[in-house]
Amino acid sequence: MTTPEDRRHTGSVPAWGEQPAGSPAPATGHPPTPEQHSPEPDHRDRLRRTVADVEHTRTRATWFGVVIGAIILVLLLVFIVQNLGSQTIELLFWEVNLPLGVSLLIAAIAGALIVALVGGLRMMQLRRALKKAAK
């Protein structure tokens, strides 16, 4: 098996039907020789590094985030559907009649927005300090 890095070093790409350099020979019915069976250690190490680089990508992290977010949304929907009993909520001069699950969802969203606002202000503060220090 060759990697793009191997092709870059050899400078040649195998033609149609040819075996790439360093790949095992096609099965001929004979038992493989030690050279055919296991690639050299350098090749294995490069392959492991390549696989490790591909395993941890932004796309993979995004995919896991989407899956976890979908699971949380399903659990949230179940929570809201199970808590449809109406509650009166009073805040200063407002009085609202909402289902319990919806009111808790609104409170969680408000909390998340407050945390995001504070975090955004802190990032702006740090960015401004870095620009000032760079001058």
Tokens of 47: 């392959």
Distance between CA atoms of residues 99 and 135, nearest Å? 55
- Please give the backbone phi and psi of residue 34, each rounded to the nearest 5 degrees, phi first: -55, -35
Q: What percentage of the chain has pLDDT greater than the value 70?
A: 69
- pTM for the full predicted model: 0.47
| pLDDT, tens only, 84-129 | 888 888 888 888 898 888 888 888 899 999 999 999 999 999 999 9
> Looking at residue 23, what is its pLDDT?
56
> Looking at residue 17, what is its pLDDT?
54
Residue 31 has pLDDT above 70, yes or no: no
Distance between CA atoms of residues 114 and 111, nearest Å? 5
